[in-house]
Structure 1
Amino acid sequence: MKSDAQKTPASQGQNGLEIEGHSIDFIPDHERTDKLSTQGPFWFVGNFTFFTMTIGFVGPSVGLSSLWTTIAGTLGIMFGTLFMAFHGSQGPHLGLPQMIQSRAQFGYRGVVLVLLATLFVFAGFNIVNLVLMMQGLKTLFAWGPMQVALAVTVPATILAILGHDWMHKTFKWSLFLSLPLYGIVTLAVLMGWIHDAPPVANAPVAAPLGFTWIGFIAQFAAGASYNIAYAPYVSDYSRYLPKNTHSGKLIAAVFLGASLSGAWMIAVGGWLGEHLHATDILVALNSVGASVAPQLGTVVVAITILAFLPVIAMNIYSAKLTAITGVDSFKKINPTPKVRIWAILGVVFLQVGVAMGIYTSGSGLSVLNIYLVVMLYFLVPWTAVNLTDYFFVRKGRYAIPHFFLPHDNIYGHWGSRGLIAYLIGFIAMIPFFTIFNGTEEVYVGPLAKMIGSVDMAWLVGLIVSGVAYYLLCLTLDLEKEEKVIRHIEKTSPHFTAGEGW
């Protein structure tokens, strides 16, 4: 299967604004020009954003002090990053986007089930981000929602169209912008340059923040879900690494980059939530900047949004891969740059339309906590099944050309083992669902109520889905698959996936 880039391989960022030629296809060895050293900074920037600070608002909203918010958020981020980092090792090993590899577990068409869940995550992140910016810029500068949408999505869309190499370049530029910016914000917090928000007249006296188990678990789950949500992204941006990239070093680079910046931003967000009672992150950052120097607040907001554009582009890029994979599962697609561009435009119009609808409805970000938790529920069974298959069942051994065969592929149209394990895990989670909007109960399952409304659904889903898939695969004919793989390695050695795990 050849894309335009394979016919004319010039899409590696060396010739100006060259548009990436690949989308959901295999990356051949001679185009694997990325370096391991780029992965840590790339994923550091992915979490080094104002949106990550809003994850720190969860703790104070459910009774946690900023200290306990930092501890719970850091532990949650680290837990979620473990799964994210291990998914990252699949990129150089297979040279494939993450969701194409999921066809091995769920089938050529069955993967659509998890594609819907991941598309919900990719699009959802950008929708929430757009609403955040629409609300903040309206409050600060009286910008209309369409002005914000155009200012943000046009450059991000261009970046997503240019593709992989330019994404990496702009993430590097974003780091240079955001590191001094958030360094100043953090210094202002640590040095006490920002005073607590004055109490509101005639408002009831709020209980002092401290520690509660429910709050601790809620903040932990929010942090974990945030980085588990990156799991479907990671190999999309590591698949251009050479096949012989050291897996342990890659896992460590992704883990350190994503967890360090995530913990940092959650800590700042927790402080802003407790001391400034912040609910609008851009307004809060403007206040922090203005407390340091006149007009610095405006500069802080402007740089915050500019540095965030590559993250918006990353969500568009991965949503595009997911959308193309979904269509390709039922109608074969030649993954040309033209297909990529149309898929990107479709994703962008969808995201902007939904964001405008949420903004005008007035519900805004009251759904943030709900979104983070529900996102975790949908992704947990998939990540458990995918990692169990990769590390414990097939151990990295896959017939790569068969991922692109609509018929007569060894993984079938519907991967019953993966689909059943996903559904078993998801159903097992439902009695443990614990969904709150701040302190207001949205849905708490019966078993969750028995343990004090502590959210353990994600842990149940991980264990049940992973174990169910492993047991279902005990009858899998791996010897038959291995014969097919060895034949491919003899006839098309460039498709080999290495020696497995």
Structure 2
Amino acid sequence: MKLSAQQTHTEPGLTGRQPLQVEARSIDYVPLTERHGKVWHQGLFWFTGQFVPTTMVVGFIGPAMGLSIGWSVLASVLGVLIGTCFMAFHANQGPAMGLPQMIQSRAQFGVRGAIVPMLAVVFVYVGFSTFGVLLGTQAIQTVLPGPGWLWGLVIVGLATVLATVGYDLVHLVLRWLPYVVVPIFAVLTVLALADLEPAAAAAPAGFTGAAFLAQFTAAIGYQLSYAVYVSDYSRYLPRTTPARKVIGYTYAGAALSALWLMPLGTFIAGSVPAADAMSNLRDIGDGLFPGFGAAAVLILLAPTAIALMSVSLYGSMLSGISIVHSFRPIPLNRTARAAGILITAVLIYVVSQGLPVEYLGSYNDFITLMLLVLAPWTAVNLVDYYFVRRGRYAIAELFNANGLYGRWGTRGLVSYAAGVVALLPFVTTNFYTGPMVAVLGGADIAFLVGLAVPALVYAALTRGFDPATELPAITASRTLLDGDPA
């Protein structure tokens, strides 16, 4: 089996000694000599990554459907606790494999077949960023004059700069941003709890199964959507980083911010005539003194929208380069990185300018669609990593279309397709409702089906697989990449 170093990287990457240099690496392997960072940084990074207004908006869904505040909060908490598990267990793949999240899917789907989940992931990146541009633009316009297209351009431009500089700068910004935004959000939270009075729920006793499941599903889907990002931002950690620590810090950071903001969003939505993140937060803040609300919204939402968009731009670049590289090998250098980021930035800006300001309905459907495309992928990926191959991969072969993992991974693709097909009858959105939804009294259990079916199918298709057959390729790959067969 022929392994080629050229297929893994062409330029040296960044190191811990020069954290603000423009990153060179993209989808290529991070050698052990370039690993750096502290595992607890993952906690701060993902706390900030979730500490954005879109997280709060998820909490609006239950009250909008007549669910009481108490039931909505319970649904969100359960959804966060479960959904974050799937996200956090991907974190260990970064230091173990030294690769971005989605390129790892080549082991299950094939070097070219991995474009199927990658295209779905690009949809997630663009969607998240689009809503972030809308919220950030509204935040700026509460304080500063100027057309929305101009402020949207500023947000996209700053996010593009962050993503282009790359891994260490994005980590640095998200690690320090909590010291700015957390105190302000804490004040707004106290003001909201003190000044707002919850309204009566529209539904009898404030509960319906369909509304509870809608809020529960939204919380799971939102947390699960971050699974596609995780290893992108842990892959520079040393390979010896304990799995329990990287998983634990990732889980704690992502869960804590969601457990704060989603219930806060629910409380606000259940206490005001019309739930709108911008105006609600501004009005709450002005209860302290006039003008504080508008300033708080600007300080909170504009920086976090820019930071999170840079995370999405970075991830979309990785997936985009991987898609192109799987069909036509290209130099994995700074030029390719910058081009991938710029193309996605332009796409996000164009889409954001075409969406209506009243985005809540579209946002709910977006979260549902994320579940549809991501749940089957995460099931296949985690089953393969933890139960089939148990974390042992021939990294160099992931860049070889004619190598160990092949061009098209039939088992992964069949399992993914089975998951999508199986969950379709259980999906409910504003534009499509599956036939099983009425049978279940309006309940949406698509996420359960989308996780269970592909996991079972992939486990069945890989039954009898002996990971020992790949050990020679794994040893050769480690020797080639690090001179370290251990």
Matches within 5 A, 1:17-56: 17-56=20-59
Give the aligned partner of residue 235 of structure 2.
239
* Distance in 2 (alpha carbons) for counterparts of 1:139 and 1:62: 28
Q: Identify the match of residue 348 of structure 2 among 347, 351, 358.
A: 351
* Distance in 2 (alpha carbons) for counterparts of 1:227 and 1:404: 30
Give 3-state SS (helix, strand or coil) of 2:287's partner: helix
Q: How many residues align?
A: 481
Deviation at 1:14? 3.9
Q: Does the Cα contact within 8 Å between 1:489 and 1:495 map onto a contact in 2? A: yes
Structure 1 residue ranges, 4+ long, deviating more than 6 angstroms after superposition: 3-6
Residues 4 and 477 of structure 1: CA distance in aligned 2, closer, same or farther (over 3 Å):
closer
* Distance in 2 (alpha carbons) for counterparts of 1:236 and 1:490: 23
Instruction: Report Cα offsets for 1:99-135 as digits up to 9, x if no partner.
Output: 1110000001000110111000011101122233445
Q: Does the Cα contact within 8 Å between 2:316 and 2:344 map onto a contact in 1? A: yes
Matches within 5 A, 1:290-301: 290-301=286-297
Matches within 5 A, 1:25-104: 25-104=28-107
* Distance in 2 (alpha carbons) for counterparts of 1:487 and 1:140: 59
Q: Identify the match of residue 259 of structure 1 among 255, 260, 263.
A: 255
Give the aligned partner of residue 195 of structure 2.
193
Q: Are residue 166 (structure 1) and residue 169 (structure 2) matched?
A: yes
Give the aligned partner of residue 462 of structure 1.
451
Matches within 5 A, 1:196-211: 210-211=206-207
* Distance in 1 (alpha carbons) for counterparts of 2:294 and 2:6: 48
- Percent sequence identity over aligned pairs: 38
Unaligned 5+ segments in structure 2 are none
Residues 454 and 140 of structure 1: CA distance in aligned 2, closer, same or farther (over 3 Å):
farther
Give the aligned partner of residue 155 of structure 1.
158
Give the counterpart letter for 2:290 in structure 1: P
Q: Identify the match of residue 320 of structure 2 among 320, 323, 335.
A: 323
Q: Does the Cα contact within 8 Å between 2:384 and 2:390 map onto a contact in 1? A: yes
Q: Does the Cα contact within 8 Å between 2:426 and 2:445 map onto a contact in 1? A: yes
Residues 365 and 135 of structure 1: CA distance in aligned 2, closer, same or farther (over 3 Å):
farther
Q: Which deviates further from its counterpart, 268-277 or 94-103? A: 268-277
* Distance in 1 (alpha carbons) for counterparts of 2:466 and 2:412: 15
Deviation at 1:279? 3.1
Give the counterpart letter for 2:381 in structure 1: N
Instruction: Report Cα offsets for 1:218-248 as digits up to 9, x if no partner.
Output: 1111010011100110000000111011101
* Distance in 2 (alpha carbons) for counterparts of 1:469 and 1:457: 18
Deviation at 1:443? 2.3
Give 3-state SS (helix, strand or coil) of 2:429's partner: strand
Give the aligned partner of residue 376 of structure 1.
371
Give the aligned partner of residue 398 of structure 1.
393
* Distance in 1 (alpha carbons) for counterparts of 2:138 and 2:191: 24
Q: Does the Cα contact within 8 Å between 2:153 and 2:349 map onto a contact in 1? A: no
Q: Identify the match of residue 416 of structure 1 among 404, 410, 413.
A: 410
Q: Are residue 338 (structure 1) and residue 335 (structure 2) matched?
A: yes
Give the aligned partner of residue 474 of structure 2.
485
Q: Which deviates further from its counterpart, 150-159 or 91-100? A: 150-159
Residues 70 and 402 of structure 1: CA distance in aligned 2, closer, same or farther (over 3 Å):
same
Residues 462 and 8 of structure 1: CA distance in aligned 2, closer, same or farther (over 3 Å):
closer
TM-score of the pair, normalised by structure 1: 0.91
Q: Does the Cα contact within 8 Å between 1:74 and 1:259 map onto a contact in 2? A: no
Unaligned 5+ segments in structure 1 are 200-204, 437-441
Q: Does the Cα contact within 8 Å between 2:143 and 2:298 map onto a contact in 1? A: no
Q: Does the Cα contact within 8 Å between 2:50 and 2:257 map onto a contact in 1? A: yes
Residues 245 and 56 of structure 1: CA distance in aligned 2, closer, same or farther (over 3 Å):
same
TM-score of the pair, normalised by structure 2: 0.94
Q: Does the Cα contact within 8 Å between 1:84 and 1:231 map onto a contact in 2? A: yes
Instruction: Report Cα offsets for 1:269-304 as digits up to 9, x if no partner.
Output: 011111123432111111111111121012111111
Q: Does the Cα contact within 8 Å between 2:11 and 2:24 map onto a contact in 1? A: no
Residues 336 and 492 of structure 1: CA distance in aligned 2, closer, same or farther (over 3 Å):
closer
* Distance in 2 (alpha carbons) for counterparts of 1:491 and 1:365: 50
Give the aligned partner of residue 212 of structure 2.
216
Deviation at 1:493? 4.8
Instruction: Report Cα offsets for 1:176-230 as digits up to 9, x if no partner.
Output: 111101111111123x134679x9xxxxx95677222211111111010011100
Give the aligned partner of residue 429 of structure 1.
423
Q: Does the Cα contact within 8 Å between 1:272 and 1:278 map onto a contact in 2? A: no
Q: Does the Cα contact within 8 Å between 1:73 and 1:220 map onto a contact in 2? A: yes
Q: Are residue 227 (structure 1) and residue 230 (structure 2) matched?
A: no
Give the aligned partner of residue 308 of structure 1.
305
* Distance in 1 (alpha carbons) for counterparts of 2:254 and 2:204: 32
Residues 383 and 338 of structure 1: CA distance in aligned 2, closer, same or farther (over 3 Å):
same
Q: Identify the match of residue 125 of structure 1 among 104, 123, 128.
A: 128
Give the counterpart letter for 2:317 in structure 1: K
Q: Does the Cα contact within 8 Å between 1:384 and 1:463 map onto a contact in 2? A: yes
Give the counterpart letter for 2:93 in structure 1: Q
* Distance in 2 (alpha carbons) for counterparts of 1:4 and 1:330: 15
Deviation at 1:50? 1.3
Q: Are residue 249 (structure 1) and residue 251 (structure 2) matched?
A: no
* Distance in 2 (alpha carbons) for counterparts of 1:219 and 1:369: 10
* Distance in 2 (alpha carbons) for counterparts of 1:44 and 1:16: 21
Q: Which deviates further from its counterpart, 121-130 or 102-111? A: 121-130
* Distance in 1 (alpha carbons) for counterparts of 2:407 and 2:56: 42
Residues 252 and 8 of structure 1: CA distance in aligned 2, closer, same or farther (over 3 Å):
closer
Give the aligned partner of residue 272 of structure 1.
268
Give 3-state SS (helix, strand or coil) of 2:149's partner: helix
Residues 452 and 16 of structure 1: CA distance in aligned 2, closer, same or farther (over 3 Å):
closer
Q: Does the Cα contact within 8 Å between 2:110 and 2:405 map onto a contact in 1? A: yes
Give the counterpart letter for 1:218 in structure 2: A
Residues 142 and 60 of structure 1: CA distance in aligned 2, closer, same or farther (over 3 Å):
farther
Q: Does the Cα contact within 8 Å between 2:53 and 2:135 map onto a contact in 1? A: no
Give 3-state SS (helix, strand or coil) of 1:443's partner: coil
